[in-house]
Chain A
Amino acid sequence: MNTLTREIRESDRAHAEQFATPPASVTEIGDGYMLEIEMPGVKKDGLEISVEINELTIIGRSSLPAVEGTLIHRESRPENFRRVFDLDPSIDANKISAKIDQGLVTLTLPKAEHVKPRKITVS
């Protein structure tokens, strides 16, 4: 079985907007996959998830109010987040669901009915 997820590398494309690539984990659970992506500072309304020709794109835009004062030490990255994955053909793209909690995006990607293991009863 293939993974969810052949990743499409950022360098393969030319884009006007620069994105940061946040860490992601993929876990196979039962009848599908769970995809977790870290997007600190992103709220529900800053999240944009799309599937186009078997390509899953997750974009997160930070919507935090500016912090008062002068930035004197910086480690965070100013860019918005983006990850792109190729969907495994076993995934039912119509049944993908997503949630975001404390900057962690969790996508549930169920397998299509026809690829689930099935017991056949002998009649």
Chain B
Amino acid sequence: MDLIRYQTPDAAPWSALDRWSNLRDDLNSFFDMPFWSSFGRTGQLFTGWSPALDIYESGDHLIAVVELPGMRKEDIDISLHDGTLTISGERKRESTDGEKAQRTERYVGTFRRSIALPTRVDAGKVSASYENGILKVTLPKAEEAKPKQIKVS
């Protein structure tokens, strides 16, 4: 036997539940919104701006590739702490008088991405470039993390 008799959610008799069903309706209508499909990654909705990050690994380095379209080089910060790479920054809105936004899908403001690197890297030799809206961070592996050939003597 059920502890609580089943009620169809649409006809919840208690006001406390009404509140939840309203919330559910709000969420449903949100998902029905036409712009929904234009979000490539759902993460963008809930965390503001979460730029896509790819990691490549080769024998002696890791490369992080981050999509950051329309930024200025000066507004991107890269830091490395305890094996965690953090890329943060701010995209500023340049607005002039008499503008009227008709559609705003581009995120403006700050972002922050952190990723724990799978191997140790040499923090002193990290380099980065920003071209065509793509940030590329090259992280040479620490000596002890590089693959080694051991000869049988």
Residues of A bordering B, CB below 8 Å: 3-5, 7, 9-11, 20-30, 33, 36, 38-43, 64, 67-77, 101-104
Closest approach, in angstroms, between the C-beta of A101 and any C-beta of chain B?
Answer: 7
Residues A41 and B102 in contact, CB atoms below 8 Å apart: no
Residues of B bordering A, CB below 8 Å: 34, 37-41, 52-58, 61-63, 65, 67-71, 96, 98-107, 115, 118, 130-134, 136
Residues B103 and A38 in contact, CB atoms below 8 Å apart: no
Total cross-chain contacts (CB, 8 A): 129
* A21 contact from B38, B53, B68, Cβ within 8 A: B38
Q: Which residue of B lies closest to A67 (CB)?
A: B56
Q: Could you say which residues of chain B place their CB within 8 Å of the CB of A21?
A: 37-38, 40
Whole-angstrom CA separation of A21 from B34 in the bound complex: 13
Residues A5 and B102 in contact, CB atoms below 8 Å apart: yes
* A102 contact from B34, B56, B70, B118, Cβ within 8 A: B70
17 extra interface residue pairs, beta carbon distance < 8 Å, beyond A26-B103, A28-B100, A103-B68:
A4-B103, A7-B34, A29-B100, A36-B106, A40-B69, A40-B134, A67-B56, A68-B56, A69-B61, A69-B62, A71-B55, A73-B54, A74-B54, A76-B67, A77-B52, A102-B69, A103-B134
Whole-angstrom CA separation of A35 from B142 in the bound complex: 45
Q: Could you say which residues of chain A place their CB within 8 Å of the CB of B118?
A: 72
Assuming A38-B70, A41-B132, A76-B67, is B54 touching A71 (CB within 8 A)?
A: yes
The 9 A-B pairs with the shortest beta carbon distances in the complex, nearest first, are A103-B133, A104-B70, A69-B58, A103-B69, A69-B56, A40-B133, A23-B105, A40-B67, A75-B52
Assuming A33-B102, A38-B70, is B136 touching A75 (CB within 8 A)?
A: no
Closest approach, in angstroms, between the C-beta of B100 and any C-beta of chain A?
Answer: 4
Q: Could you say which residues of chain B place their CB within 8 Å of the CB of A103?
A: 67-70, 132-134
Closest approach, in angstroms, between the C-beta of B15 and any C-beta of chain A?
Answer: 39
Q: Which residue of B lies closest to A46 (CB)?
A: B132
Q: Could you say which residues of chain A place their CB within 8 Å of the CB of B70?
A: 36, 38, 101-104
